[in-house]
A and B are shown apart, each in its own frame.
Chain A
Amino acid sequence: MIRDITIGQYYPAESVIHRLDPRVKLVGTLTFIISLFLHRSFLMYLVAAVFLTIVIKASKVPFRFMIKGLKAIMVLLLITVVFNMFLTPGTPFIRIWKLTLTVEGVKQAAFMAIRLAFLIVGSSVMTLTTTPNHLTDGMEKGLAPLNKLHVPVHEVSMIMSIALRFIPILLEETDKIMKAQEARGADFDSGNLIQKAKSLVPLLVPLFISAFRRANDLAMAMEARGYRGGEGRTKMKPLIYQKRDRMAYGVLLGYLAVMILVGRFAPF
Protein backbone atom coordinates (compact mmCIF):
# COMPACT_ATOMS: atom_id res chain seq x y z
CA MET A 1 0.00 0.00 0.00
CA ILE A 2 2.64 2.45 1.08
CA ARG A 3 4.74 1.26 -1.86
CA ASP A 4 2.32 2.71 -4.35
CA ILE A 5 2.53 6.34 -3.33
CA THR A 6 3.74 8.70 -5.99
CA ILE A 7 6.10 11.51 -5.21
CA GLY A 8 5.10 14.86 -6.55
CA GLN A 9 1.83 14.80 -8.40
CA TYR A 10 2.74 13.42 -11.80
CA TYR A 11 -0.32 12.48 -13.88
CA PRO A 12 0.66 9.89 -16.50
CA ALA A 13 -0.81 10.57 -19.94
CA GLU A 14 0.29 10.64 -23.57
CA SER A 15 0.32 14.25 -24.65
CA VAL A 16 2.47 16.82 -26.40
CA ILE A 17 3.05 18.61 -23.12
CA HIS A 18 4.17 15.39 -21.42
CA ARG A 19 6.71 14.73 -24.15
CA LEU A 20 8.22 18.21 -24.11
CA ASP A 21 11.77 18.59 -22.90
CA PRO A 22 11.69 19.40 -19.16
CA ARG A 23 13.84 22.47 -19.83
CA VAL A 24 11.11 23.88 -22.06
CA LYS A 25 8.57 23.35 -19.33
CA LEU A 26 10.78 24.95 -16.69
CA VAL A 27 11.46 27.98 -18.86
CA GLY A 28 7.80 28.11 -19.89
CA THR A 29 6.53 28.11 -16.33
CA LEU A 30 8.98 30.82 -15.39
CA THR A 31 7.98 32.92 -18.41
CA PHE A 32 4.32 32.48 -17.61
CA ILE A 33 4.79 33.60 -14.01
CA ILE A 34 6.83 36.63 -15.05
CA SER A 35 4.26 37.57 -17.68
CA LEU A 36 1.60 37.73 -14.97
CA PHE A 37 3.48 40.45 -13.16
CA LEU A 38 4.30 42.62 -16.19
CA HIS A 39 1.32 44.95 -16.07
CA ARG A 40 -2.09 45.19 -14.52
CA SER A 41 -4.74 44.83 -17.12
CA PHE A 42 -7.78 42.59 -17.24
CA LEU A 43 -7.38 42.07 -20.96
CA MET A 44 -3.90 40.70 -20.29
CA TYR A 45 -5.24 38.19 -17.82
CA LEU A 46 -7.79 37.16 -20.38
CA VAL A 47 -4.96 36.39 -22.80
CA ALA A 48 -3.15 34.46 -20.05
CA ALA A 49 -6.33 32.53 -19.27
CA VAL A 50 -6.82 31.56 -22.89
CA PHE A 51 -3.18 30.48 -23.17
CA LEU A 52 -3.40 28.44 -19.96
CA THR A 53 -6.63 26.77 -21.05
CA ILE A 54 -5.10 25.73 -24.36
CA VAL A 55 -2.05 24.28 -22.59
CA ILE A 56 -4.22 22.41 -20.09
CA LYS A 57 -6.38 21.03 -22.88
CA ALA A 58 -3.26 19.92 -24.76
CA SER A 59 -1.85 18.21 -21.66
CA LYS A 60 -4.88 15.90 -21.35
CA VAL A 61 -4.77 16.22 -17.56
CA PRO A 62 -8.29 16.56 -16.10
CA PHE A 63 -9.04 20.08 -14.98
CA ARG A 64 -9.90 19.07 -11.42
CA PHE A 65 -6.24 18.06 -10.87
CA MET A 66 -5.22 21.62 -11.69
CA ILE A 67 -7.68 22.98 -9.16
CA LYS A 68 -6.33 20.67 -6.43
CA GLY A 69 -3.34 22.93 -5.96
CA LEU A 70 -5.62 25.91 -5.47
CA LYS A 71 -7.38 24.27 -2.53
CA ALA A 72 -4.13 24.18 -0.61
CA ILE A 73 -3.66 27.94 -0.84
CA MET A 74 -7.36 28.86 -0.41
CA VAL A 75 -6.79 30.34 3.04
CA LEU A 76 -3.82 32.37 1.88
CA LEU A 77 -5.84 33.56 -1.10
CA LEU A 78 -8.78 34.63 1.09
CA ILE A 79 -6.57 36.54 3.52
CA THR A 80 -4.86 38.35 0.65
CA VAL A 81 -8.16 39.28 -0.92
CA VAL A 82 -9.74 40.54 2.32
CA PHE A 83 -6.72 42.58 3.35
CA ASN A 84 -6.37 44.11 -0.08
CA MET A 85 -10.05 44.99 -0.25
CA PHE A 86 -10.20 46.83 3.04
CA LEU A 87 -6.74 48.22 3.52
CA THR A 88 -6.07 49.87 0.16
CA PRO A 89 -6.63 53.62 0.44
CA GLY A 90 -8.83 55.27 -2.23
CA THR A 91 -12.41 56.19 -3.07
CA PRO A 92 -14.80 54.66 -0.54
CA PHE A 93 -17.22 52.15 -1.97
CA ILE A 94 -19.13 50.65 0.94
CA ARG A 95 -18.56 51.21 4.64
CA ILE A 96 -19.09 48.25 6.96
CA TRP A 97 -18.72 49.14 10.61
CA LYS A 98 -15.25 50.66 10.91
CA LEU A 99 -13.90 49.16 7.70
CA THR A 100 -13.98 50.89 4.37
CA LEU A 101 -14.20 49.00 1.13
CA THR A 102 -12.54 51.02 -1.61
CA VAL A 103 -12.89 50.79 -5.39
CA GLU A 104 -9.12 50.56 -5.74
CA GLY A 105 -9.10 47.88 -3.06
CA VAL A 106 -11.56 45.66 -4.90
CA LYS A 107 -9.57 46.07 -8.10
CA GLN A 108 -6.30 45.34 -6.32
CA ALA A 109 -7.78 42.27 -4.62
CA ALA A 110 -9.07 40.93 -7.90
CA PHE A 111 -5.64 41.33 -9.51
CA MET A 112 -3.95 39.57 -6.61
CA ALA A 113 -6.41 36.70 -6.61
CA ILE A 114 -6.08 36.17 -10.35
CA ARG A 115 -2.31 36.33 -10.24
CA LEU A 116 -2.00 33.85 -7.38
CA ALA A 117 -4.51 31.43 -8.89
CA PHE A 118 -2.79 31.54 -12.30
CA LEU A 119 0.60 31.13 -10.68
CA ILE A 120 -0.49 27.96 -8.88
CA VAL A 121 -2.34 26.45 -11.81
CA GLY A 122 0.50 27.34 -14.16
CA SER A 123 3.12 25.56 -12.07
CA SER A 124 0.76 22.62 -11.53
CA VAL A 125 0.78 22.10 -15.28
CA MET A 126 4.51 21.55 -15.07
CA THR A 127 4.51 19.24 -12.04
CA LEU A 128 1.55 17.24 -13.34
CA THR A 129 3.12 16.55 -16.72
CA THR A 130 6.76 15.96 -15.71
CA THR A 131 8.14 13.16 -13.56
CA PRO A 132 10.36 14.38 -10.70
CA ASN A 133 13.33 12.65 -12.30
CA HIS A 134 12.76 14.37 -15.58
CA LEU A 135 12.55 17.68 -13.76
CA THR A 136 15.85 17.00 -11.99
CA ASP A 137 17.45 16.11 -15.33
CA GLY A 138 16.10 19.29 -16.85
CA MET A 139 17.45 21.36 -13.99
CA GLU A 140 20.87 19.72 -14.25
CA LYS A 141 21.14 20.41 -17.95
CA GLY A 142 19.44 23.81 -17.85
CA LEU A 143 21.54 25.11 -14.98
CA ALA A 144 24.80 23.68 -16.32
CA PRO A 145 26.20 27.17 -17.10
CA LEU A 146 26.18 27.81 -13.35
CA ASN A 147 28.98 25.24 -13.12
CA LYS A 148 31.35 28.00 -14.21
CA LEU A 149 30.41 29.89 -11.06
CA HIS A 150 31.35 26.78 -9.04
CA VAL A 151 27.77 25.84 -8.29
CA PRO A 152 27.76 22.04 -7.93
CA VAL A 153 24.85 21.54 -10.33
CA HIS A 154 25.48 17.85 -11.02
CA GLU A 155 25.88 17.00 -7.34
CA VAL A 156 22.71 18.83 -6.35
CA SER A 157 20.64 17.08 -8.98
CA MET A 158 22.17 13.70 -8.06
CA ILE A 159 21.23 14.34 -4.43
CA MET A 160 17.70 15.21 -5.47
CA SER A 161 17.18 12.13 -7.60
CA ILE A 162 18.58 9.84 -4.91
CA ALA A 163 16.34 11.50 -2.33
CA LEU A 164 13.37 10.86 -4.60
CA ARG A 165 14.34 7.23 -4.95
CA PHE A 166 14.68 6.71 -1.20
CA ILE A 167 11.50 8.45 -0.03
CA PRO A 168 9.30 5.36 -0.54
CA ILE A 169 11.94 3.12 1.06
CA LEU A 170 12.19 5.31 4.14
CA LEU A 171 8.41 5.58 4.36
CA GLU A 172 8.16 1.82 4.34
CA GLU A 173 10.81 1.65 7.00
CA THR A 174 8.95 4.19 9.17
CA ASP A 175 5.87 2.05 8.84
CA LYS A 176 7.83 -1.03 9.90
CA ILE A 177 9.39 0.67 12.93
CA MET A 178 5.99 2.07 13.98
CA LYS A 179 4.41 -1.37 13.80
CA ALA A 180 7.29 -2.92 15.72
CA GLN A 181 6.94 -0.31 18.46
CA GLU A 182 3.17 -0.54 18.55
CA ALA A 183 3.51 -4.28 18.99
CA ARG A 184 5.46 -3.54 22.13
CA GLY A 185 2.86 -1.10 23.47
CA ALA A 186 3.90 2.27 22.00
CA ASP A 187 1.00 4.65 21.44
CA PHE A 188 1.18 7.10 18.53
CA ASP A 189 -2.48 8.09 18.33
CA SER A 190 -3.73 9.39 21.67
CA GLY A 191 -2.94 12.52 23.65
CA ASN A 192 -2.68 16.12 22.58
CA LEU A 193 -0.38 17.49 19.92
CA ILE A 194 2.65 17.79 22.20
CA GLN A 195 2.25 14.25 23.50
CA LYS A 196 1.90 12.97 19.97
CA ALA A 197 5.03 14.80 18.89
CA LYS A 198 6.89 13.37 21.89
CA SER A 199 5.88 9.85 21.01
CA LEU A 200 7.54 10.30 17.63
CA VAL A 201 11.02 10.82 19.11
CA PRO A 202 11.66 7.10 19.72
CA LEU A 203 10.61 6.58 16.11
CA LEU A 204 13.03 9.12 14.68
CA VAL A 205 16.15 7.75 16.34
CA PRO A 206 16.11 4.30 14.70
CA LEU A 207 14.96 5.87 11.45
CA PHE A 208 17.93 8.22 11.38
CA ILE A 209 20.38 5.46 12.24
CA SER A 210 19.08 3.30 9.45
CA ALA A 211 19.08 6.21 7.00
CA PHE A 212 22.77 6.84 7.73
CA ARG A 213 23.55 3.16 7.32
CA ARG A 214 21.75 3.15 3.99
CA ALA A 215 23.62 6.27 2.90
CA ASN A 216 26.91 4.60 3.72
CA ASP A 217 25.99 1.45 1.80
CA LEU A 218 24.77 3.44 -1.16
CA ALA A 219 27.92 5.55 -1.30
CA MET A 220 29.98 2.38 -1.37
CA ALA A 221 27.81 0.83 -4.08
CA MET A 222 28.13 3.99 -6.17
CA GLU A 223 31.90 4.01 -5.81
CA ALA A 224 32.06 0.33 -6.66
CA ARG A 225 30.29 1.12 -9.90
CA GLY A 226 32.81 3.75 -10.78
CA TYR A 227 30.98 6.92 -9.76
CA ARG A 228 33.37 9.85 -9.43
CA GLY A 229 31.26 12.95 -9.88
CA GLY A 230 29.84 14.53 -12.98
CA GLU A 231 33.07 14.91 -14.92
CA GLY A 232 33.58 12.58 -17.85
CA ARG A 233 30.16 11.07 -17.35
CA THR A 234 27.92 10.30 -20.31
CA LYS A 235 24.15 10.18 -20.23
CA MET A 236 21.98 7.20 -20.98
CA LYS A 237 18.96 9.39 -21.61
CA PRO A 238 20.45 12.69 -22.74
CA LEU A 239 18.20 15.71 -23.17
CA ILE A 240 18.20 16.79 -26.79
CA TYR A 241 15.90 19.45 -28.16
CA GLN A 242 13.45 18.06 -30.71
CA LYS A 243 11.43 19.92 -33.31
CA ARG A 244 8.46 20.10 -30.95
CA ASP A 245 10.63 21.73 -28.27
CA ARG A 246 11.78 24.44 -30.66
CA MET A 247 8.18 24.99 -31.69
CA ALA A 248 7.16 25.25 -28.05
CA TYR A 249 9.79 27.93 -27.52
CA GLY A 250 8.34 29.78 -30.51
CA VAL A 251 4.83 29.61 -29.07
CA LEU A 252 6.16 30.82 -25.75
CA LEU A 253 7.89 33.78 -27.39
CA GLY A 254 4.69 34.65 -29.25
CA TYR A 255 2.72 34.51 -26.02
CA LEU A 256 5.19 36.79 -24.26
CA ALA A 257 5.07 39.31 -27.12
CA VAL A 258 1.26 39.38 -27.08
CA MET A 259 1.28 39.83 -23.32
CA ILE A 260 3.70 42.76 -23.51
CA LEU A 261 1.73 44.44 -26.32
CA VAL A 262 -1.62 43.94 -24.60
CA GLY A 263 -0.22 45.17 -21.30
CA ARG A 264 1.10 48.32 -23.01
CA PHE A 265 -1.87 49.30 -25.07
CA ALA A 266 -4.88 47.72 -23.39
CA PRO A 267 -7.63 50.19 -22.59
CA PHE A 268 -8.60 48.35 -19.38
Chain B
Amino acid sequence: MNIIKAVKLAYEYKRYGEDGQVEETLRAVDGVDLDVKKGDFVAILGHNGSGKSTLAKQINALLVPTEGTLYVDGMDTKDPEKVWDIRQSAGMVFQNPDNQIIGSVVDEDVGFGPENMGIPTKEIWERVEESLRSVGMWEYRHSSPNKLSGGQKQRVAIAGVVAMHPKCIVLDEPTAMLDPVGRKDVIRTVRALNMVEDVTVVLITHYMEEVIYADKVIVMDDGKVVMQGTPGEIFSQVDTLKKYRLDVPQVTLLAYELKKAGLDLPAGILSIEELVDNLCQLKSNM
Protein backbone atom coordinates (compact mmCIF):
# COMPACT_ATOMS: atom_id res chain seq x y z
CA MET B 1 0.00 0.00 0.00
CA ASN B 2 1.16 3.52 -0.67
CA ILE B 3 1.71 5.50 2.48
CA ILE B 4 1.88 8.81 0.63
CA LYS B 5 -0.02 9.36 -2.55
CA ALA B 6 -0.25 12.71 -4.30
CA VAL B 7 -2.43 13.37 -7.30
CA LYS B 8 -1.83 16.56 -9.30
CA LEU B 9 -0.83 18.31 -6.10
CA ALA B 10 -0.40 22.10 -6.20
CA TYR B 11 0.19 24.80 -3.64
CA GLU B 12 0.12 28.55 -4.13
CA TYR B 13 1.52 31.14 -1.77
CA LYS B 14 -0.47 34.34 -2.00
CA ARG B 15 0.73 37.76 -1.03
CA TYR B 16 -1.97 40.15 -0.04
CA GLY B 17 -1.96 43.91 -0.55
CA GLU B 18 -3.18 46.46 1.95
CA ASP B 19 -6.83 46.07 0.99
CA GLY B 20 -6.73 42.31 1.14
CA GLN B 21 -6.55 41.82 -2.63
CA VAL B 22 -4.20 39.19 -3.97
CA GLU B 23 -1.11 40.97 -5.21
CA GLU B 24 1.04 38.08 -6.19
CA THR B 25 0.69 34.33 -6.37
CA LEU B 26 3.60 31.99 -6.31
CA ARG B 27 3.03 28.42 -7.37
CA ALA B 28 5.50 26.61 -5.14
CA VAL B 29 4.26 23.11 -5.91
CA ASP B 30 2.80 22.55 -9.35
CA GLY B 31 1.08 19.35 -10.43
CA VAL B 32 3.09 16.83 -8.46
CA ASP B 33 2.21 13.13 -8.67
CA LEU B 34 3.90 11.08 -6.02
CA ASP B 35 3.76 7.54 -4.70
CA VAL B 36 5.71 6.44 -1.68
CA LYS B 37 5.50 2.79 -0.65
CA LYS B 38 5.54 1.71 2.96
CA GLY B 39 9.06 1.16 4.27
CA ASP B 40 10.70 3.11 1.46
CA PHE B 41 13.56 5.55 1.83
CA VAL B 42 12.75 8.38 -0.53
CA ALA B 43 15.03 11.35 -1.09
CA ILE B 44 13.80 14.59 -2.56
CA LEU B 45 16.44 16.77 -4.18
CA GLY B 46 16.11 20.23 -5.48
CA HIS B 47 17.62 23.64 -5.74
CA ASN B 48 16.55 26.42 -3.32
CA GLY B 49 12.98 27.45 -4.04
CA SER B 50 12.18 24.29 -5.97
CA GLY B 51 9.16 23.64 -3.74
CA LYS B 52 10.51 20.68 -1.80
CA SER B 53 9.89 22.20 1.66
CA THR B 54 6.37 23.19 0.68
CA LEU B 55 5.74 19.61 -0.40
CA ALA B 56 7.06 18.37 2.96
CA LYS B 57 4.77 20.67 4.92
CA GLN B 58 1.81 19.40 2.95
CA ILE B 59 2.59 15.81 3.91
CA ASN B 60 2.32 16.87 7.57
CA ALA B 61 -0.92 18.79 6.90
CA LEU B 62 0.75 22.02 7.99
CA LEU B 63 -0.23 23.30 4.56
CA VAL B 64 -3.40 22.25 2.77
CA PRO B 65 -3.15 21.78 -1.01
CA THR B 66 -4.57 24.51 -3.23
CA GLU B 67 -5.32 21.97 -5.95
CA GLY B 68 -5.17 18.23 -6.22
CA THR B 69 -5.24 15.76 -3.36
CA LEU B 70 -2.71 14.27 -1.01
CA TYR B 71 -3.38 11.04 0.85
CA VAL B 72 -1.27 10.17 3.86
CA ASP B 73 -1.86 6.62 5.08
CA GLY B 74 -5.18 6.68 3.28
CA MET B 75 -6.33 9.96 4.86
CA ASP B 76 -7.03 13.07 2.81
CA THR B 77 -5.04 16.02 4.19
CA LYS B 78 -7.92 18.33 3.27
CA ASP B 79 -10.14 16.68 5.88
CA PRO B 80 -9.94 18.93 8.98
CA GLU B 81 -11.01 16.08 11.25
CA LYS B 82 -8.06 13.95 10.24
CA VAL B 83 -5.36 16.61 10.79
CA TRP B 84 -4.14 15.23 14.12
CA ASP B 85 -4.15 11.62 12.92
CA ILE B 86 -2.14 12.66 9.88
CA ARG B 87 0.39 14.52 12.00
CA GLN B 88 0.76 11.44 14.14
CA SER B 89 1.30 9.07 11.23
CA ALA B 90 3.64 11.44 9.39
CA GLY B 91 6.09 13.04 11.78
CA MET B 92 8.27 15.94 10.71
CA VAL B 93 11.81 17.04 11.53
CA PHE B 94 12.82 20.56 10.61
CA GLN B 95 16.05 22.23 9.61
CA ASN B 96 16.91 24.32 12.65
CA PRO B 97 17.53 22.09 15.67
CA ASP B 98 17.13 24.96 18.17
CA ASN B 99 13.72 26.03 16.97
CA GLN B 100 12.01 22.67 17.25
CA ILE B 101 13.01 21.55 20.72
CA ILE B 102 10.30 22.52 23.18
CA GLY B 103 11.32 20.93 26.46
CA SER B 104 14.12 22.26 28.62
CA VAL B 105 15.36 18.74 29.40
CA VAL B 106 15.96 16.13 26.70
CA ASP B 107 13.50 13.53 28.02
CA GLU B 108 10.77 16.14 28.48
CA ASP B 109 11.14 17.20 24.89
CA VAL B 110 10.84 13.65 23.59
CA GLY B 111 7.72 13.25 25.74
CA PHE B 112 6.07 16.33 24.24
CA GLY B 113 4.51 14.55 21.28
CA PRO B 114 3.09 11.61 23.27
CA GLU B 115 1.78 14.09 25.87
CA ASN B 116 -0.15 15.86 23.13
CA MET B 117 -1.59 12.56 21.98
CA GLY B 118 -2.99 11.94 25.45
CA ILE B 119 -0.99 8.79 26.14
CA PRO B 120 -0.90 7.54 29.77
CA THR B 121 2.14 8.59 31.80
CA LYS B 122 3.61 5.12 32.14
CA GLU B 123 3.55 4.49 28.41
CA ILE B 124 5.06 7.92 27.71
CA TRP B 125 8.11 6.89 29.74
CA GLU B 126 8.40 3.60 27.84
CA ARG B 127 8.18 5.40 24.52
CA VAL B 128 10.70 8.04 25.59
CA GLU B 129 13.21 5.41 26.63
CA GLU B 130 12.72 3.33 23.51
CA SER B 131 13.03 6.26 21.11
CA LEU B 132 15.99 7.88 22.89
CA ARG B 133 17.77 4.52 22.76
CA SER B 134 17.00 4.10 19.08
CA VAL B 135 18.78 7.39 18.26
CA GLY B 136 21.56 6.74 20.77
CA MET B 137 20.80 9.69 23.03
CA TRP B 138 19.59 7.84 26.15
CA GLU B 139 22.68 8.84 28.16
CA TYR B 140 21.81 12.50 27.62
CA ARG B 141 18.21 12.26 28.88
CA HIS B 142 18.81 14.60 31.83
CA SER B 143 20.80 17.19 29.85
CA SER B 144 19.62 20.58 28.77
CA PRO B 145 19.24 20.73 24.97
CA ASN B 146 21.26 23.96 25.02
CA LYS B 147 24.34 22.01 25.97
CA LEU B 148 24.15 19.50 23.11
CA SER B 149 25.83 19.78 19.72
CA GLY B 150 23.79 20.41 16.58
CA GLY B 151 23.84 16.77 15.52
CA GLN B 152 22.81 15.60 18.98
CA LYS B 153 19.97 18.13 19.06
CA GLN B 154 18.76 16.91 15.71
CA ARG B 155 18.82 13.31 16.96
CA VAL B 156 16.74 14.40 19.96
CA ALA B 157 14.29 16.00 17.55
CA ILE B 158 14.13 12.72 15.60
CA ALA B 159 13.53 10.83 18.86
CA GLY B 160 10.70 13.27 19.61
CA VAL B 161 9.03 12.26 16.37
CA VAL B 162 9.78 8.54 16.79
CA ALA B 163 8.12 8.60 20.22
CA MET B 164 4.83 9.38 18.47
CA HIS B 165 5.14 6.04 16.62
CA PRO B 166 4.70 7.48 13.15
CA LYS B 167 4.50 5.33 10.05
CA CYS B 168 6.47 7.86 8.10
CA ILE B 169 9.02 10.55 8.95
CA VAL B 170 9.55 13.61 6.79
CA LEU B 171 12.90 15.30 7.32
CA ASP B 172 13.19 18.78 5.86
CA GLU B 173 16.91 19.42 5.34
CA PRO B 174 17.79 18.04 8.77
CA THR B 175 21.52 18.31 8.17
CA ALA B 176 21.74 21.76 6.57
CA MET B 177 22.97 23.45 9.75
CA LEU B 178 25.26 20.69 10.99
CA ASP B 179 28.97 19.96 10.77
CA PRO B 180 30.14 16.87 8.83
CA VAL B 181 30.28 14.67 11.95
CA GLY B 182 26.77 15.65 13.04
CA ARG B 183 25.54 15.15 9.51
CA LYS B 184 26.88 11.59 9.42
CA ASP B 185 25.32 10.76 12.80
CA VAL B 186 21.91 12.03 11.76
CA ILE B 187 21.91 10.18 8.44
CA ARG B 188 23.07 6.99 10.13
CA THR B 189 20.22 7.33 12.64
CA VAL B 190 17.68 7.88 9.89
CA ARG B 191 18.92 4.88 7.91
CA ALA B 192 18.81 2.68 11.01
CA LEU B 193 15.20 3.71 11.67
CA ASN B 194 14.32 2.93 8.10
CA MET B 195 15.99 -0.47 8.05
CA VAL B 196 15.40 -1.71 11.60
CA GLU B 197 12.01 -0.23 12.45
CA ASP B 198 10.73 -0.18 8.87
CA VAL B 199 9.69 3.46 9.12
CA THR B 200 9.06 5.15 5.80
CA VAL B 201 11.52 8.03 5.37
CA VAL B 202 11.18 11.07 3.16
CA LEU B 203 14.47 12.93 3.26
CA ILE B 204 14.71 16.38 1.76
CA THR B 205 18.25 17.51 1.23
CA HIS B 206 20.72 19.04 -1.10
CA TYR B 207 23.68 16.96 -0.01
CA MET B 208 24.19 14.32 -2.66
CA GLU B 209 26.11 11.95 -0.38
CA GLU B 210 22.98 11.48 1.71
CA VAL B 211 20.95 10.40 -1.27
CA ILE B 212 22.94 7.38 -2.43
CA TYR B 213 21.32 5.09 0.16
CA ALA B 214 17.79 5.97 -0.90
CA ASP B 215 15.48 3.48 -2.60
CA LYS B 216 14.15 6.24 -4.77
CA VAL B 217 15.29 9.74 -5.64
CA ILE B 218 12.98 12.50 -6.75
CA VAL B 219 14.35 15.68 -8.28
CA MET B 220 12.22 18.80 -8.12
CA ASP B 221 12.61 22.03 -10.00
CA ASP B 222 10.28 25.00 -10.06
CA GLY B 223 7.53 23.13 -8.24
CA LYS B 224 7.52 20.15 -10.58
CA VAL B 225 8.95 16.65 -10.34
CA VAL B 226 11.51 16.55 -13.14
CA MET B 227 13.34 13.28 -12.47
CA GLN B 228 12.46 10.08 -10.63
CA GLY B 229 14.38 6.86 -10.18
CA THR B 230 16.97 4.92 -8.24
CA PRO B 231 20.12 6.82 -7.21
CA GLY B 232 22.06 4.99 -9.94
CA GLU B 233 19.60 6.02 -12.62
CA ILE B 234 19.51 9.61 -11.46
CA PHE B 235 23.23 10.10 -11.10
CA SER B 236 24.00 8.59 -14.46
CA GLN B 237 22.44 11.67 -16.01
CA VAL B 238 25.09 14.16 -14.97
CA ASP B 239 24.27 16.73 -17.61
CA THR B 240 20.56 16.81 -16.79
CA LEU B 241 21.36 17.24 -13.09
CA LYS B 242 23.64 20.14 -13.90
CA LYS B 243 20.78 21.76 -15.75
CA TYR B 244 18.79 21.72 -12.49
CA ARG B 245 21.78 23.25 -10.67
CA LEU B 246 22.50 20.10 -8.68
CA ASP B 247 25.87 18.49 -8.06
CA VAL B 248 26.62 14.81 -8.31
CA PRO B 249 28.82 12.99 -5.77
CA GLN B 250 32.52 13.34 -6.53
CA VAL B 251 33.03 9.65 -7.34
CA THR B 252 30.14 9.68 -9.75
CA LEU B 253 31.51 12.77 -11.44
CA LEU B 254 34.97 11.19 -11.74
CA ALA B 255 33.49 8.03 -13.22
CA TYR B 256 31.44 10.11 -15.60
CA GLU B 257 34.47 12.06 -16.81
CA LEU B 258 36.51 8.85 -17.18
CA LYS B 259 33.73 7.37 -19.25
CA LYS B 260 33.60 10.44 -21.42
CA ALA B 261 37.36 10.12 -21.89
CA GLY B 262 36.86 6.67 -23.34
CA LEU B 263 36.99 4.19 -20.44
CA ASP B 264 34.39 1.45 -20.49
CA LEU B 265 32.61 2.15 -17.20
CA PRO B 266 28.93 1.65 -16.37
CA ALA B 267 26.83 4.76 -15.76
CA GLY B 268 25.76 5.85 -12.28
CA ILE B 269 28.64 4.72 -10.08
CA LEU B 270 27.85 5.82 -6.52
CA SER B 271 30.61 4.66 -4.19
CA ILE B 272 34.38 4.58 -4.20
CA GLU B 273 34.38 0.78 -3.85
CA GLU B 274 32.19 0.41 -6.89
CA LEU B 275 34.56 2.54 -8.96
CA VAL B 276 37.60 0.66 -7.68
CA ASP B 277 35.99 -2.68 -8.54
CA ASN B 278 35.13 -1.55 -12.04
CA LEU B 279 38.57 -0.09 -12.68
CA CYS B 280 40.27 -3.29 -11.47
CA GLN B 281 38.10 -5.37 -13.76
CA LEU B 282 38.98 -3.14 -16.68
CA LYS B 283 42.66 -3.55 -15.86
CA SER B 284 42.49 -7.34 -15.68
CA ASN B 285 40.60 -7.46 -18.96
CA MET B 286 43.29 -5.52 -20.75
Q: Which residues of A contact B (CB under 8 A)?
A: 3, 133, 161-162, 164-165, 168-169, 214, 217-218, 220-228, 232-238
Contacts and interface: CB of A to CB of B under 8 A. Distances in A.
Contacts of A236: 107-108, 111, 114-115, 121, 124-125, 128
B59 to A, nearest CB: 10
B103 A165 contact: yes
Contacts of A228: 84, 116
Which of A169, A217, A226, A233 has the most chain B CB atoms closer than 10 A to its own CB? A226
Contacts of B125: 236
Given A3-B146, A162-B102, A236-B114, A224 B62 contact: yes
A226 B164 contact: yes
A218 B121 contact: no
Contact of B160 (A165, A225, A233): A225
A233 B62 CA distance: 20
B98 A225 contact: no
B104 A224 contact: no
13 contacts: A169-B98, A214-B96, A214-B98, A220-B62, A221-B94, A223-B62, A224-B62, A224-B87, A225-B113, A234-B115, A234-B121, A236-B108, A236-B111
B102 A221 contact: yes
Contacts of B161: 225
Given A225-B113, A226-B84, A233-B115, A217 B62 contact: no
B115 A217 contact: no
B92 A224 contact: yes
B91 A227 contact: no
A237 B107 CA distance: 10
Contacts of A161: 104
A85 B29 CA distance: 76
A226 B88 contact: yes
B147 interface: yes
B262 interface: no
Which of A165, A217, A220, A225 has the most chain B CB atoms closer than 10 A to its own CB? A225
Chain A contact residues: helix, strand, loop or mixed = helix
Interface of B: 57, 60, 62, 84, 87-88, 91-92, 94, 96, 98-105, 107-108, 111-121, 124-125, 128, 145-147, 160-161, 164
A218 B100 contact: yes
B103 A235 contact: no
Given A161-B104, A165-B146, A225-B161, 15 more contacts: A3-B146, A133-B105, A217-B94, A218-B102, A222-B102, A224-B60, A224-B91, A225-B91, A234-B118, A236-B107, A236-B108, A236-B111, A236-B121, A236-B125, A237-B121
Contacts, number: 91
B104 A164 contact: yes
Chain B contact residues: helix, strand, loop or mixed = helix
Nearest to A164: B104
Contacts of B119: 234
Nearest to A216: B99
Contacts of B160: 225
Contacts of B99: 214, 217-218, 221
A225 B96 CA distance: 15
A235 B120 CA distance: 8
B104 A221 contact: no
A60 B7 CA distance: 65
A226 B121 CA distance: 17
Contacts of A162: 102
A133 B146 CA distance: 15
B102 A168 contact: no
Nearest to B87: A226
A226 B108 contact: no
Contacts of B117: 226
Nearest to B63: A220
A223 B104 contact: no
A232 B92 contact: no
A234 B164 contact: no
A226 B100 contact: no
A233 B147 CA distance: 28
Which of B96, B99, B118 has the most chain A CB atoms closer than 10 A to its own CB? B99
B100 A217 contact: yes
Contacts of A223: 62, 87
Contacts of A214: 96, 98-99
Which of A224, A237, A238 has the most chain B CB atoms closer than 10 A to its own CB? A224
B121 A165 contact: no
B80 to A, nearest CB: 12
B118 A233 contact: yes
Nearest to B111: A236
Contacts of A168: 146
A164 B145 CA distance: 12
Given A217-B100, A234-B124, A237-B108, A225 B94 contact: no
A12 to B, nearest CB: 12
Contacts of B62: 220, 223-224
A177 to B, nearest CB: 15
A222 B209 CA distance: 30
A235 B60 contact: no
A161 B96 CA distance: 20
